Amino acid sequence: MALLNKYKADMTVLPSNCDFECKLGLYDTFRIFMDIANTHAGILGVDQAALMDQNLFWLTVKTRIHFFKRPFMNSPMKIETWPVKPGSLRSDRCYRLLDSEGLIAEGRTEWAVMDLNRGRLSNIKDIFPAELVFNEEDISVVDYPRIVACDDTYTEKGSYRVNSSDIDMGHHMNNTAYVRALLGIYSEQELTEMDIQEITMIYKTSAHEGDILTLKEKRTDNIVEAGLYFPDGKPSVLAQIVCKG
């Protein structure tokens, strides 16, 4: 029997997935995509539990999600995900959320696999089963924007202290926790006025419990270039937020 190269499931917008508008949250969408990726990876035998037996660890390098709409609490949804044919060191995974009327969100994540014994990236082509036929379906999110580190034109918006609830099994800040931390520095009114349509996260240097991260941003038309920075000025994560124009 052929391996399942595309995973589909029915979902509901649960209260725990909602923001202050009682709609599917932006951060929560990142978390849903992370969880469904793990579910499909488990079916393929390449989830984190399987990789740990080989001292390997999945790393999130980049994520970009475009939001077409945000359904209300208790709305039914369908989710789809599939890995793209990998290169030697990086592999993309695509995601799609839908309802009966069409697209809710589409996203893409670039992954890598760290060899914990050698402290360097492993050949990701060797991770997936040899018999897996990769799905060649494409989505609207086809690439990642280039995001540069801040300069003197950026404004400090606020800061965030990394706490234990942000830490995952790799003992560093989970990739979705950066989204929660970054968006949480903005007020309800600011987020409402921004009306965010798309978020890209580029992960640079892992943050750990107790680290202080400062949000710096620059706005040009409907684009917010932002990042969470360590006290020495180095970025932990860079972000591009596209607001409704």
DSSP letter for each residue of 83-94: EPPP-SS-EEEE
Task: Classify 88 in phi/psi space as left (phi over 0), alpha (psi -120 to 50) or beta.
Answer: alpha
**How far apart, in whole angstroms, are the C-alpha atoms of residue 209 and residue 171?**
8
Residue holding tokens 């929660």?
180
Q: Which amino acid is at 41?
A: A
pLDDT of residue 2: 65
Structural contact between residues 202 and 237, judged by C-beta atoms closer than 8 angstroms: yes
pLDDT of residue 138: 87
Could you report the per-residue pLDDT of 140-197, keeping only the tens digit for each? 998 999 999 999 999 999 999 999 999 998 899 999 999 999 999 999 999 999 999 9
pLDDT of residue 166: 97
Calculate the CA 23 to chain-centre distance.
19
**How far apart, in whole angstroms, are the C-alpha atoms of residue 184 and residue 189?**
12
**How far apart, in whole angstroms, are the C-alpha atoms of residue 78 and residue 30?**
15
**Would you call 186 helix, strand, or coil by DSSP?**
coil
Structure tokens at 229: 């920075």
Structural domains of the chain in order of their starting residue, each with its CATH number: 7-126 (3.10.129.10), 155-243 (3.10.129.10)
pLDDT of residue 216: 97
Residues of the chain falling short of pLDDT 70: 1-2, 245
What's the pTM value of the predicted model, to 2 decimals? 0.96
Q: Which amino acid is at 186?
A: Y
pLDDT of residue 245: 66
pLDDT of residue 119: 85
